[in-house]
Amino acid sequence: MKDIAPDDEVTTIGGLADGDTLHPMQQAWIDNDVAQCGYCQPGQIMAAAALVKRVKDEGREITDDDLDQIRNICRCGTYHRVREAIKAGAASM
Amino acid sequence: MRHRADDSRQGRVHPACTSTLRAAHLGDKIVSLQQNHTSVRTDYSHGLGEAITASAAKLPGGNYSLAQSIFVLSQNTPYNFGATSQLLNEIDLGFNTGSVRNVYSPNVRTAQELMVDQLADALKMDPYGFRRAYAKTDLQRAVLDRVAKEGDWGRDMEPGTAQGIGMHVEYKNTMAALVEIDCRPATVNRQIRDACTGPRVTRATYVIVPGSQCVNPTGLKAMTMGGMTGGMTGGMMGGMMGGIAMTLSASLHIKDGTPLEASWDNYRCTRQWNTPPELNIVIMDPDPDGEVGGGGEAGVAASMAAVACAYRRAVGTTPTSFPINHDELTFEPYPTVPPLPQPPTNGLDIVS
């Protein structure tokens, strides 16, 4: 189990970009035209960025099994484009 | 005492239904098809979205009249099957229903396409060839040919896996879906935390002739994907994902009059672990002689039917109840009285 310390910083979707430069995952989302209604998308992008970072920390590439573990619900059903965007975003992270 | 889990336990649902079919053939001629569709009453108290029909719907017989009109105007049989009848019988069970997720079409179409596959078997024909032979229009034959080509219809498949095909005509569109399903134990029993896994659609192809024009192809593909998702579990991306869920996993479990599902995480709509790794949506040229079409739920019905037909071919028995994974509860129901378990406060606890 990992702990969250009181002085840990929490990054939200508002803090993901570097100034005017979008985070690679945000850019991949736009390039793949993922969003439909948009409601779940900040959570999807944050889950994607965190997943890719964790997998990279483990020294490996992202796999379909990793993508299958994402629980975030999208009622528009953008799942397939989410997968495509994560692969594209991971390539430039 | 009302609590937060109750927020998800009240609301409106796609009504449960039973569709029965009888077909007769004489040699290689289908001479009749009779489809009787019985459903919990679909609530049309909103009418057609304005005050006059909404008031009319609340009069005695009003809801019944709307239901019958919508059923007759929206449901069809896209094949030349001789004398064809489709009847609706709705029963008021006091359930809070809604005309959601493509209203009657996914259920009516899935039942009918399963019968189509059985007729093809009886006539010793291939499901694609049978549909092509009995399709009513050139547009239908065009989408069938294209979906068969794009989806590699008839390719060699491992035991426990199979292809299925479904066709649907609605919203002024002509559509066909071809899916591949994997029902092998290693896939069905894959372990994902608190997940309903089961058979998986591994590849999905959807072809649509979009009415008389297509203004935004990327948007239409997106909506189709959603329907496929929902229909496989019901719009086209939205449509197809909807279709997957309705065939395989998405349903409510009622105990003592209360849905056990008390959160969106409990409800088994399509999730990443149900999403087809391969998805291809093809928008063909619009039909200049057609009418302006709609795309919001256009992906649901054909996808749900294709998944059901693929499942039938993969396991060798005809499924008669959906979703396939309904019986097994894959979550611990929240209590109906407080206290409720607190939500997790450290997300790091639940990632590996």
For residue range A22-76, list pLDDT tens digits in order.
999 999 999 999 999 999 999 999 999 999 999 999 999 999 999 999 999 998 8
Nearest to B197 by CA among B310, B350, B316, B325: B325
Residue B271 has its nearest CB partner, among A4, A73, A76, at A73
> CB neighbours of A78 closer than 8 A, spacing ≥ 6?
A34, A35, A36, A44, B222, B225, B226, B237, B238
pLDDT at B238 over 60: no
Q: B232: nearest CA in chain A?
A: A77
Q: What confidence tens digit (pLDDT) does each residue in B168-201 have?
A: 999 999 999 999 999 999 999 999 988 889 999 9
Report whether A72 contacts A44 (CB < 8 A). Answer: yes
Q: What fold is seen in the domain B109-333?
A: Aldehyde Oxidoreductase; domain 4 (3.30.365)
Domain boundaries along the sequence of chain B: 109-333
Query: A46 and chain B: CB distance < 8 Å anywhere?
Result: no
The structural domains of chain A, ordered by start, are 36-93 (1.10.150.120)
Q: Do A83 and B223 touch (CB under 8 A)?
A: no
CB contact (8 A) between residue B346 and residue A76:
no
Q: Across the interface, do B237 and A82 touch by the CB < 8 Å criterion? A: no
Instruction: State the nearest Cα–Cα gap between A48 and chain B, in angstroms.
Output: 12
Give contacts of A 61-90 with B, CB under 8 A: 64, 67-73, 75-83
What mean pLDDT, rounded, does chain B reach?
A: 90
Q: What is the pLDDT of residue A2?
A: 65
State whether residue A4 is helix, strand or coil. coil
Asked if B109 and B304 count as a contact pair (C-beta separation under 8 A), the reply is: yes
Whether residue B269 and residue A73 make contact (CB cut-off 8 A), yes or no, is: yes
Burial environment of residue B170 by CB neighbours within 10 A (0 to 12, 13 to 18, 19 or more): buried
Cα angle B10-B326-B77, degrees, rounded to a multiple of 5: 90
